[in-house]
């Protein structure tokens, strides 16, 4: 006896069609604002000469981390410049920065609320587990009906994919604040907001920074994958090399992605150590 198949896929398609038709004005407005932000940041970074931006990043690494990281960053960025991948690197960096900012702006309030509310915590944790086990490519599917092909869809998919660690680590950091300190704040008559902003958030900052670090790494990986839906950057260089069977070009773009990932990772780790 054949068991009737549950039309889950058809329900999802119907839901997406309804959302795109009912909220097309909203998605178009979001798309215009996001594209303007992408173009502005991208043009601003590309307006600077390559050597000037390289020097600025190296000096930032020297100031925030160490001279060794500054030398490594200068050498890595010089290699990317030499390989002719500077503009794609800037495009990738732009997408990562914007996606990370949006993800963090959404994730921090959600993480704080989940840490302070046991009921919300029990609801949000299974949702985060579901989001983190979903294959990355699946996030590209709903992005296209909402925002079409291009960088805006890449930002949408990247934000959804990279947000869970920031929420999870924010919640974890606040919930790990010692109970004794909370009781001491209560004894001194601190309000709920004073406890949050003067005790819980400052003490949880290293853990929150670890979550932001993971968000940046996931955003970078997703931006590369999003080349499949028309996102510019190093991912499109890799995708173009695959289509044209040019393994050398693909490895060059891959090396540039690794250099960018290492640079962002070391910088955020340095900020995490400084927050302790």
CB 266 within 8 A of CB 217: no
When comparing pLDDT for 104 and 31, which is higher?
104
Give the C-alpha separation, 108 to 105, whole Å: 6
CA contacts within 13 A on the Cβ side of 107: 29
3-state helix, strand, coil in the chain (%, to 5): 85, 0, 15
What pLDDT score does 98 carry?
Answer: 92
What topology is assigned to 22-274 in CATH?
Answer: MetI-like fold (1.10.3720)
What pLDDT score does 25 carry?
Answer: 82
Helix 24-47 × helix 140-147 angle, to 10°: 100
- Between 9-18, 98-107, 128-137, 163-172, the lowest mean confidence (pLDDT) is in 9-18
Strands (E), the chain: none
**14-47 pLDDT tens trace:** 887 777 777 778 888 888 888 888 889 888 888 9
Backbone angles phi, psi at 8, to 5 degrees: -65, -45
Sorted by sequence, the CB contacts under 8 Å of residue 156 that are 6+ apart come out as 143, 146, 147
The pair of structure tokens assigned to 134 is: 């979903």
CB 233 within 8 A of CB 92: yes
The pair of structure tokens assigned to 146 is: 């909402």
Q: What DSSP line would sit under 65-108, residue for residue?
A: T-HHHHHHHHHHHHHHHHTT-HHHHHHHHHHHHHHHHHHHHHHH
What pLDDT score does 268 carry?
Answer: 84
What is the reported pTM?
Answer: 0.89
Shortest CA distance to 217 belongs to which of 140, 69, 103, 110?
103
CA contacts within 13 A on the Cβ side of 70: 12
**171-183 pLDDT tens trace:** 999 888 888 888 8
CB 224 within 8 A of CB 236: no
Task: Return mean pLDDT, the chain.
Answer: 86
Q: Where are the domains of the chain?
A: 22-274
What pLDDT score does 23 carry?
Answer: 74
Give the C-alpha separation, 142 to 127, whole Å: 17
pLDDT beyond 90 at 106: yes
């Amino acid at each position: 006896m054949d068991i009737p198949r549950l039309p889950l896929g058809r329900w999802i398609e119907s839901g997406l069609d309804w959302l795109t038709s009912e909220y097309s004005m909203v998605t178009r407005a979001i798309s215009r604002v996001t594209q303007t932000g992408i173009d502005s940041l991208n043009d601003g970074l590309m307006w600077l000469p390559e050597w000037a931006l390289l020097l600025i990043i190296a000096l930032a690494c020297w100031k925030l981390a160490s001279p060794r990281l500054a030398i490594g960053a200068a050498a890595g960025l010089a290699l990317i410049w030499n390989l002719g991948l500077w503009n794609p690197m800037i495009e990738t960096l732009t997408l990562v920065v914007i996606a990370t900012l949006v993800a963090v702006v959404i994730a921090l309030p959600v993480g704080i609320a989940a840490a302070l509310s046991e009921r919300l915590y029990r609801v949000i944790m299974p949702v985060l587990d579901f989001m983190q086990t979903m294959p990355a490519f699946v996030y590209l599917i709903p992005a296209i009906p909402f925002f079409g092909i291009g960088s805006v869809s890449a930002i949408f998919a990247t934000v959804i994919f990279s947000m869970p660690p920031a929420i999870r680590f924010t919640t974890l950091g606040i919930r790990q604040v010692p109970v004794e300190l909370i009781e001491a704040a209560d004894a001194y008559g601190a309000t709920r907001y004073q406890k949050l902003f003067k005790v819980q958030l400052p003490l949880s900052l290293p853990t929150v920074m670890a979550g932001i670090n993971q968000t940046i790494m996931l955003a970078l990986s997703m931006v590369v994958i999003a080349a499949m839906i028309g996102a510019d950057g190093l991912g499109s260089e890799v995708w173009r090399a695959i289509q044209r069977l040019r393994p050398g070009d693909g490895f060059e773009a891959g090396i540039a992605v690794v250099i960018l990932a290492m640079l962002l990772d070391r910088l955020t780790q340095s900020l995490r150590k400084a927050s302790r």
